[in-house]
Amino acid sequence: MMNYIVLDLEWNQSAKGKKYTLPGMPFEIIQMGAVKLDNKFDVIDEFDRLVCPQVYPVLHSVCGEVTGITQEMLADGEHFVDTALDFLEWCGQDYIFCTWGSTDLVELQRNLNHYAIEAEFPMPFLFYDVQKLYSLCFLNGKERPALQTAIEQRGIAEKEQYHMALSDARYTAQLMKLLDFEKVRAFYSIDTYRVPKRRKDEICMNFGNYSKYISRVFDTREKAANDRRVRSCNCFLCGKPMERKIKWFATNGKTYYGLFFCEEHGLIKGRFKIKHTDDEQYYAVKILKRTDDAGAEKLHARQLQEREHRRQRRLNKQELDSSVDIGVAYKLCHTKTNPAYYPDTQPPAHESDIRVLSYNIEEILKSVRFPDLCLQF
């Protein structure tokens, strides 16, 4: 029978700043806490270890303030390899991870990878994001409250300190017991620390009212964004091709939106985001979801807004290009080494600042003697 491993981690980072961060290892685990639950969400066992950091041995001041962990406490901690091997054995064979948010499993795998520890996690690597499940049960499904906020909302006694691994795991386990789990059981999350390498390994999961697709990796962002399958628009409910109502458009170069119509299932909205791995490869995560006329209107308004932003960016670029051209002409014609120098127009206060659009452009153009300017070339 499957158990639930409610995991929480605390981690350290470089006390010297980002410049000294090890690639692929931004955070080093310094504490692991977990609660093992049975299928009725009753506690079976607990796991609690402090880890002596090796990559970032000096405790970052913020980490110490948030967790209450001290440098002296870490000195008595175990090596991560010993802790990780004990933890994986403790988990057993048939289990699923449950975490508050999606970052803990990423950092766990980064740390395992750093020490070349092989963990037989499945692919796709499914887990329960309890923060998301809590929102689906008690909020609007979109909010992502802090753990302490959720505990306060449910009136659970706050007997332990927050931001200690085992304490946070215990709080998360208590919240799980309050969920209408049959309502949210199907809403797995998919870890993307490891992503498909080949087309045949790509992930596509149907959750009933939406689907999620994770592409294979590409060597550039552009290849990922323009891939045929990433941009395909078949209905996730019946598999039939859909009519494009709004073609895919990007809002920031990373996130794309589209609107489609299925004759059987109506309006379907789509979103895909281009993400990158630690080794600078790129992949897409696409979500298709049913919507209505109101949702379609919101998407259309977003498209119009993005078009206006692009138009403004083009205009600003054109104005900047024009200002540079006028500024060059101005400086050529208004320099004392130029026989055509006429000091009747005040130059910019700082010659390096050629944003001359703040001046009266007509006056500048009048003062530029183009025949003399031509003699300069």
**Domain, as residue range, for 355:** 323-374
What pLDDT, on a 0 to 100 scale, did the predictor assign at position 371? 43
* Mean pLDDT of the region 13-42: 96
Give the residue with greater pLDDT, 56 vs 326. 56
What pLDDT, on a 0 to 100 scale, did the predictor assign at position 365? 46
Tell whether the model's pLDDT for residue 307 goes beyond 80.
yes
Query: C-alpha distances in angstroms, 27 versus 77, 107, 108, 109?
Result: 17, 7, 10, 11
Contact 24, 279 (CB under 8 A): yes
Residue ending a domain, among 244, 267, 290, is 290
Same domain, 212 and 328: no
**pLDDT, the chain, mean:** 89
* Burial label, 63 (beta-carbon count in 10 A; 0-12, 13-18, 19+): buried
Residue 18 DSSP symbol: G
DSSP-derived 3-state class of residue 367? helix
Same domain, 284 and 262: yes
Tell whether the model's pLDDT for residue 369 goes beyond 80.
no
Per residue in 124-180, pLDDT (tens digit) is 999 999 999 999 999 999 999 999 999 999 999 999 999 999 999 999 999 999 999
What pLDDT, on a 0 to 100 scale, did the predictor assign at position 24? 94
Per residue in 58-110, pLDDT (tens digit) is 999 999 999 999 999 999 999 999 999 999 999 999 999 999 999 999 999 99
DSSP-derived 3-state class of residue 171? helix
One-letter identity of residue 265:
H
Give the residue with greater pLDDT, 325 vs 257. 257
One-letter identity of residue 288:
L
* Cβ within 8 Å of residue 106, ≥6 positions away: 191, 193
Residue ending a domain, among 169, 190, 211, is 190
What pLDDT, on a 0 to 100 scale, did the predictor assign at position 318? 84
Same domain, 22 and 158: yes
Same domain, 83 and 230: no
What pLDDT, on a 0 to 100 scale, did the predictor assign at position 185? 95
Residue ending a domain, among 170, 190, 210, is 190
The answer as to whether 160 is a domain residue is yes
What pLDDT, on a 0 to 100 scale, did the predictor assign at position 253? 76
Per residue in 255-286, pLDDT (tens digit) is 999 999 999 999 999 999 999 999 999 999 99
The answer as to whether 248 is a domain residue is yes
The answer as to whether 13 is a domain residue is yes
Residue 29: which of 9, 48, 7 has the closest Cα? 9
Rounded CA-CA distance 301/310 in Å is 14
| CB neighbourhood size of 199 (10 A) | 10
What pLDDT, on a 0 to 100 scale, did the predictor assign at position 333? 54
The answer as to whether 302 is a domain residue is no
What pLDDT, on a 0 to 100 scale, did the predictor assign at position 13? 97
DSSP-derived 3-state class of residue 318? helix
Q: What residue spans of the chain are helical by DSSP H?
A: 61-67, 71-75, 80-91, 103-114, 130-138, 147-153, 165-178, 181-184, 221-226, 228-231, 293-333, 361-367, 370-374
What pLDDT, on a 0 to 100 scale, did the predictor assign at position 373? 39
Rounded CA-CA distance 294/277 in Å is 35
Same domain, 185 and 330: no
* Burial label, 253 (beta-carbon count in 10 A; 0-12, 13-18, 19+): exposed
Same domain, 167 and 224: no
The answer as to whether 178 is a domain residue is yes
Contact 110, 84 (CB under 8 A): no
Q: What is the CATH number of the domain that holds 253?
A: 3.30.530.20
Confidence of residue 342 (pLDDT cuts 50, 70, 90): very low
Place of tokens 């806490």: 33
Tell whether the model's pLDDT for residue 374 goes beyond 60.
no
Same domain, 70 and 173: yes
Q: Measure the CA dihedral 289/295/296/298, to 10°.
A: -130
Contact 208, 130 (CB under 8 A): no
Confidence of residue 346 (pLDDT cuts 50, 70, 90): low
What pLDDT, on a 0 to 100 scale, did the predictor assign at position 320? 84
Place of tokens 């083009």: 314
* Mean pLDDT of the region 207-234: 96
Same domain, 220 and 338: no
**26: preceding bond cis by omega (within 30 degrees):** no
Tell whether the model's pLDDT for residue 30 goes beyond 70.
yes
Tell whether the model's pLDDT for residue 357 goes beyond 70.
no
326: which 2 tokens? 């006028």
Same domain, 72 and 161: yes
The answer as to whether 217 is a domain residue is yes
Same domain, 69 and 155: yes
The answer as to whether 328 is a domain residue is yes
- Using only the alpha carbons of the chain, give its radius of gyration: 29
* Burial label, 7 (beta-carbon count in 10 A; 0-12, 13-18, 19+): buried
Q: What is the CATH number of the domain that holds 134?
A: 3.30.420.10
What pLDDT, on a 0 to 100 scale, did the predictor assign at position 363? 53
Q: How many structural domains is the chain composed of?
A: 3
The answer as to whether 303 is a domain residue is no
Confidence of residue 319 (pLDDT cuts 50, 70, 90): confident
Tell whether the model's pLDDT for residue 197 goes beyond 90.
yes
Same domain, 32 and 165: yes
What pLDDT, on a 0 to 100 scale, did the predictor assign at position 355? 44
* Cβ within 8 Å of residue 181, ≥6 positions away: 41, 133
Same domain, 44 and 99: yes
